[in-house]
Amino acid sequence: MKKGIIFILLILTALSFSQILNYVPENFKVIRYVKDLSEFYSEVKSLSTGRFLTESLGLEMMIQGVLESQLISRDIEPSDFYDLLSHEFLFVQLDSEDTCFVLGPSEKTKKLKDSIKSLVVDLLGMEDVVVAEKDGYLFLGTAKAVNASLKGGGKIPDTLKTADFFGYGLLQGEKYSFTVVSTKESAGDHLSIKVEIIPMDDTSRNFLEKVGQPRKVPSDYYMFGELTVIFNTENYDGLLDVLSSAGFSMESGNLPVQLPESDIEKVVKNLFEELEPPMFLSANVSSAVMDLIAGSTPTSIEVVAKAMLKSPDAVENALKTAGVQYRKEGRCFVLENGLSICTEGDTVVLKSDQFSPRNLDITPAKNDVFFLFLDMRTVMESLVGEGEEAYIFARGFYKDGKMVFYVNVK
């Protein structure tokens, strides 16, 4: 009798594991899984930020319009396509070039396979995309990643196999090795994603410990805006690498604020080697977002940035190297576009003509080495005339031998 109960429990446990996880390939770099895409999308839409993007800005209707016209032109019923998107989702990354998306299961997959390939080619220009079907699941990606996923054989921790949402990665570099685990946490009126970066050896643990060590910051050091990004660590380059491992891209082209002229970018690039944390960038971006939505280039932006300066001559040297015109007023270098770069003791401040600081209810904790806050309410008010409490907030810190990042969206 006891053996029978154990057998039944084993069968029930096996059935609770998702079949799509059988398609996790060997030697994967990163995987991301969502048990119910339809439910997750509904959760995102229930958030203030989600409602604003999908309904107030009309992105959902716009995307549906473009997509459904393409589907109908291929004799595909939109409801069949949406059924494919209403179940499980698996993203597989083998390396920087080879990825695969797995969707399903749906009884419509075989019927949709060829049409979806032509749809992806026409809309995204991905001529080499491979589309396959197995057991009602659709596989879409590079040939290498699709074939590896079809073969399966990859292993993930048992603790993740019954999760509704997770990410899992094995990142091995020349010097450091990490396991990256992301999960969705219950958070009431906002969506919360937790990312843990766990060292796999003592060298990696010592590296994370230094990255996760914040510096002391004077109480009046930071100024906050509609958007604020803060780095405060003993190892800035290491923090950028860790952020990349956690899924945050800090490349300048991916940041929501761009400096207005390429010459200024050159100055910042030349100056950056002479800067160190604590450093921050704050900007009031709502007017710039309005310009972008209207299809025009933002003409001005309220911005302030501050960092510690290694050498007092670094600013003027960077300006001269970049060939930028400026005039010197005391400790400030005033540029032709109205931006100024001022030295204040051992710090340097870049600021626009005007900047109206904001008071935030959410501010960095003492142990935070990374902080990002975007006030979506001000963006709503500037675009549609009214708004509700809404934000995108992220923080990172070192705890219990690992780096922990939280991303919260309301």
Residues 215 and 85 both lie in one domain: no
Confidence band of 8 (pLDDT split at 50, 70, 90): very low
What total of structural domains would you count in the chain?
Answer: 2
Cα dihedral: 116, 58, 290, 361 (round 10): -110
Q: Which residue has the tokens 């419509």?
A: 108
In the predicted structure, residue 233 carries a pLDDT above the cut 60? yes
In the predicted structure, residue 61 carries a pLDDT above the cut 50? yes
Q: Which residue has the tokens 């060298």?
A: 203
Question: Residue 251 has what pLDDT?
Answer: 54
Q: Which residue has the tokens 């209207």?
A: 294
- For 93, the domain range is 17-166
- Eight-class DSSP state of 161: T
Q: What is the pLDDT of residues 283-331, one digit of tens each?
A: 998 877 776 666 666 666 789 999 999 887 888 888 888 888 889 998 9
- Asked if residue 64 is part of any domain, the answer here is yes
Residue 114 CB contacts under 8 Å (≥ 6 apart), including other chains: 131
Confidence band of 254 (pLDDT split at 50, 70, 90): very low
Residues 127 and 269 both lie in one domain: no
| pLDDT, average across residues 123-136 | 92
Q: What is the pLDDT of residues 363-395, one digit of tens each?
A: 999 999 999 999 999 888 888 888 899 999 999
Secondary structure of residue 40 in the 3-state scheme: helix
State how far the Cα of 122 lies from the Cα of 66, in Å rounded to an integer: 12
Residues 105 and 158 both lie in one domain: yes
Confidence band of 249 (pLDDT split at 50, 70, 90): low
Confidence band of 260 (pLDDT split at 50, 70, 90): very low
- Asked if residue 374 is part of any domain, the answer here is yes
Mean pLDDT check: name the lowest of 133-137, 141-145, 354-358.
Answer: 354-358
Confidence band of 252 (pLDDT split at 50, 70, 90): very low
- Asked if residue 172 is part of any domain, the answer here is no
| pLDDT, average across residues 7-25 | 61
Secondary structure of residue 370 in the 3-state scheme: strand
- Asked if residue 8 is part of any domain, the answer here is no
State how far the Cα of 101 lies from the Cα of 52, in Å rounded to an integer: 27
Question: Residue 11 has what pLDDT?
Answer: 37
- Asked if residue 48 is part of any domain, the answer here is yes
| pLDDT, average across residues 26-41 | 96
Residues 96 and 220 both lie in one domain: no
**Tokens linked to 291:** 């310009």
| pLDDT, average across residues 195-200 | 96
Distances (CA, A) of 382 to 61, 217, 275, 352: 21, 33, 34, 20
State how far the Cα of 161 lies from the Cα of 394, in Å rounded to an integer: 26
| pLDDT, average across residues 118-128 | 89
Q: State residue 236 phi and psi, 5-degree precision.
A: -65, -50
Secondary structure of residue 20 in the 3-state scheme: helix
Residues 343 and 219 both lie in one domain: yes
In the predicted structure, residue 246 carries a pLDDT above the cut 90? no
- Asked if residue 268 is part of any domain, the answer here is yes
**Tokens linked to 61:** 């209707």
Confidence band of 402 (pLDDT split at 50, 70, 90): very high
Q: What is the pTM of this model?
A: 0.87
Question: Residue 353 has what pLDDT?
Answer: 85
User: Is there a contact between 25 and 148 (Cβ–Cβ < 8 Å)?
Assistant: yes
Q: What is the pLDDT of residues 66-110, one digit of tens each?
A: 999 999 999 899 999 999 999 999 999 999 899 999 999 999 999
User: Is there a contact between 32 and 99 (Cβ–Cβ < 8 Å)?
Assistant: no
In the predicted structure, residue 263 carries a pLDDT above the cut 80? no
In the predicted structure, residue 132 carries a pLDDT above the cut 90? yes
- Asked if residue 393 is part of any domain, the answer here is yes
Residues 385 and 315 both lie in one domain: yes
- Asked if residue 288 is part of any domain, the answer here is yes
Question: Residue 145 has what pLDDT?
Answer: 98
Mean pLDDT of the chain: 87
171 CB-contact burial (10 Å; exposed 0-12 / middle 13-18 / buried 19+):
middle
